[in-house]
């Protein structure tokens, strides 16, 4: 088989390829988003999660957007300052907030949403439905497998030097 290469074929390197892919996607998103407003990627994600009614309370939005606690706090402050969201106290849990989008955010979402949907379609355009399904499943599986960190074929040996 063509696996004669040391280890660098195409098969190996999955994390590297994912990183490359992520980089490309991120750059693409950045350019697109920049054309339509003054929000960055993280901020847009927050807006989108709320606009699609995926979540409205702060923690739920944060996890859905996949953001760090600190970063979320900062981005949310920016969004509020720019007039994209209004923050209400949460009746059920006084520690949290409830996010409400302003008209400005809704307009931005109405303009940008379709473009991002088009992008999404463009991205998977070359894949069949079955392939998309496989990819989706694989992402999930690999993400789960990525939690293990103790491989330890050979335990670290500090006195090797």
- Both tokens assigned to 67: 């953001």
Does position 119 bind a second copy by CB under 8 A?
yes
Does position 127 bind a second copy by CB under 8 A?
yes
Chain-centroid distance of CA 130 in Å reads 23
Compute the least distance from the CB of residue 67 to a second copy, in Å.
10
Does position 147 bind a second copy by CB under 8 A?
yes
How many positions of this chain bind a second copy (CB under 8 A)?
A: 73
d(CA 90, CA 47): 18
Of residues 37, 44, 48, 62, which one binds DNA by CB under 7 A?
Answer: 62
Does position 77 bind a second copy by CB under 8 A?
no
- Sequence-ordered list of residues with C-beta below 8 angstroms from that of 62, at least 6 positions apart, any chain: 69, 72
Does position 65 bind DNA by CB under 7 A?
no
Does position 21 bind a second copy by CB under 8 A?
yes
Of residues 46, 50, 76, 105, which one binds DNA by CB under 7 A?
Answer: 76
Does position 29 bind DNA by CB under 7 A?
no
Compute the least distance from the CB of residue 95 to a second copy, in Å.
25
Does position 122 bind DNA by CB under 7 A?
no
d(CA 121, CA 24): 16
Of residues 71, 115, 118, 127, which one binds DNA by CB under 7 A?
Answer: 71
Chain contacts with DNA (rule: CB under 7 A): 23, 26-27, 30, 40-42, 57-59, 62, 68-74, 76-77, 92-97
């Amino acid at each position: 088989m063509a696996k004669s290469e040391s280890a660098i074929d195409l098969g190996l390197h999955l994390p590297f390829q994912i990183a490359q892919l992520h980089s490309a996607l991120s750059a693409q998103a950045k350019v697109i988003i920049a054309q339509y407003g003054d929000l960055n990627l993280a901020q847009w994600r927050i807006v989108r999660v709320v606009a699609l009614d995926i979540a409205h309370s702060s923690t739920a939005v944060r996890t859905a957007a996949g953001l760090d606690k600190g970063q979320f706090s900062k981005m949310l402050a920016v969004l509020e300052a720019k007039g994209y969201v209004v923050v209400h106290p949460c009746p059920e849990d006084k520690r949290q907030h409830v996010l409400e989008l302003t008209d400005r955010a809704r307009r931005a979402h109405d303009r940008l949403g379709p473009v991002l949907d088009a992008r999404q379609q463009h991205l998977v355009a070359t894949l069949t439905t079955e392939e998309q399904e496989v990819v989706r499943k694989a992402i999930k599986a690999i993400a789960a497998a990525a939690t293990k960190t103790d491989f330890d074929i050979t335990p670290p040996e500090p006195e090797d030097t």
